[in-house]
Chain A
Amino acid sequence: EAGVVQSPRYKIIEKKQPVAFWCNPISGHNTLYWYRQNLGQGPELLIRYENEEAVDDSQLPKDRFSAERLKGVDSTLKIQPAELGDSAVYLCASSPEVGYNEQFFGPGTRLTVL
């Protein structure tokens, strides 16, 4: 069974540029998470989807970050414009159903903002 797929794996951009990350969860998983992980820190939840509905986006900086999961399958996280402090690893994870707590993580996208 294929795991969580993320692309790109690495991205280098200049500040003020836009950037987008894509995630395809494990087939059949209804819950999808986006995290940001800074060096030496644990993952910080940005947004959680139950199917196509965003149910926890309290930590998403909505002035520059947006996310969508239109058909309840794959998802895109966008930053526009990027700032130096956005440099981090962006992780996507999925779970089979609401309340099923084990999360399966993708390999992440390492973003560097210059």
Chain B
Amino acid sequence: RKEVEQDPGPFNVPEGATVAFNCTYSNSASQSFFWYRQDCRKEPKLLMSVYSSGNEDGRFTAQLNRASQYISLLIRDSKLSDSATYLCVAYPGGGADGLTFGKGTHLIIQP
């Protein structure tokens, strides 16, 4: 099974700072990408989809680089409530097999 790699962290970031982390994928056939957020002992919840042109949702920006096979997540003006684990997902699409989650990046926002 193809791999999705993430830096597990933890990333310790002061409140108000900007933080960015990447996720690399090895399956060049992957078509869809997502970032999920998972709080401690909770289920993952969709944070945002990642489009080829990049997309922004408030303080969050996601980008896709197909040539280098990575996706990124940027969080601006970080809040204490942003502390969580961020999981990236690569999905072949079209009903194909191979949906793969990364191990997650642990983010801690410090006051």
Minimum CB–CB distance for A67 against chain B, Å: 16
Q: Are B49 and A105 in contact (CB under 8 A)?
A: no
Q: Are A102 and B46 in contact (CB under 8 A)?
A: yes
* Alpha-carbon gap, A111 to B87, bound state (A): 22
Q: Are B99 and A56 in contact (CB under 8 A)?
A: yes
A-B contact count (CB 8 A): 54
Minimum CB–CB distance for A111 against chain B, Å: 14
Minimum CB–CB distance for A27 against chain B, Å: 18
Contact of B43 among A42, A58, A106 (CB under 8 A): A106
* Alpha-carbon gap, A104 to B36, bound state (A): 11
Contact of B95 among A41, A55, A58, A59 (CB under 8 A): A55
Contact with A along B75-111 (1 / 0, CB 8 A): 0000000000001000101110111111110000000
Contacts A45-B99, A50-B95, A98-B95: A103 and B1 contacting too (C-beta < 8 A)?
no
Q: Is B8 part of the binding interface, using a Cβ–Cβ cutoff of 8 Å?
A: yes
| Interface secondary structure of B, over-half rule | loop
- Chain B residues whose CB sits within 8 angstroms of the CB of A50 once the complex forms: 95
Minimum CB–CB distance for B15 against chain A, Å: 25
Q: Are B1 and A48 in contact (CB under 8 A)?
A: no
Interface size class, chain A: 20 to 34
- Chain B residues whose CB sits within 8 angstroms of the CB of A58 once the complex forms: 1, 97
Q: Is B34 part of the binding interface, using a Cβ–Cβ cutoff of 8 Å?
A: yes
Q: Are A107 and B32 in contact (CB under 8 A)?
A: no
Minimum CB–CB distance for A38 against chain B, Å: 10
Q: Are A99 and B93 in contact (CB under 8 A)?
A: yes
- Chain A residues whose CB sits within 8 angstroms of the CB of B4 once the complex forms: 42
Q: Are B93 and A102 in contact (CB under 8 A)?
A: no
- Chain A residues whose CB sits within 8 angstroms of the CB of B32 once the complex forms: 101
Q: Is A40 part of the binding interface, using a Cβ–Cβ cutoff of 8 Å?
A: yes
- Chain A residues whose CB sits within 8 angstroms of the CB of B91 once the complex forms: 101
